[in-house]
Amino acid sequence: MMAGFMSYFGGRRDAKQSSRDAIVTLRQQLQMIEKKEDYLQKKIDEEMKKAKQNAVSNKPAATAALRRKKVSEQELEKLQNTRFQLEMQVNTLESASFNAETMAAMKKAAGALKDMHGKLTIDKVDQTMAEIQEQTQLANEVSEAISSSTYAGVDLDEDELKQELAELEQEELDSKLMQDHVPVHHPGGLSKVPETPQAIEDDEETQLKELQAALAMS
**Domain coordinates of the chain in residue numbers?**
2-117
Residue 90: predicted pLDDT:
93
The pLDDT of 171-185, averaged and rounded, is 74
95 vs 194, residue with greater confidence: 95
Residue 83: predicted pLDDT:
93
Q: Which of 107, 106, 105, 98 is nearest to 15 (CA)?
A: 98
pLDDT higher than 60, residue 137:
yes
* Mean of all residue pLDDT scores within the chain: 80
Q: Which of 3, 41, 24, 47 is nearest to 97 (CA)?
A: 24
197 vs 21, residue with greater confidence: 21
Per-residue pLDDT reduced to its tens digit, 104-128: 899 999 888 888 888 788 888 888 8
The residues near 33 (Cβ < 8 Å, ≥ 6 apart) are 79, 82, 83, 86
- Alpha carbon distance 202, 196 (integer Å): 10
Half-sphere exposure of 107 (CA within 13 A, CB side): 6
The CATH fold assigned to 2-117 is Helix Hairpins (1.10.287)
Measured between alpha carbons, how far is residue 51 from residues 41, 63, 71, 73, 97 in Å?
15, 7, 14, 15, 50
The residues near 96 (Cβ < 8 Å, ≥ 6 apart) are 19
- Alpha carbon distance 79, 113 (integer Å): 51
- Alpha carbon distance 68, 47 (integer Å): 7
Instruction: Output the pTM of the full model.
Output: 0.46
**Structure confidence at residue 199 as a pLDDT band (50, 70, 90):** low
- Alpha carbon distance 218, 198 (integer Å): 31
Per-residue pLDDT reduced to its tens digit, 63-111: 999 999 999 999 999 999 999 999 999 999 999 888 988 998 999 998 8
The pLDDT of 6-30, averaged and rounded, is 75
pLDDT higher than 80, residue 193:
no
- Alpha carbon distance 19, 32 (integer Å): 20
124 vs 12, residue with greater confidence: 124
pLDDT higher than 50, residue 1:
no
Residue 9: predicted pLDDT:
43
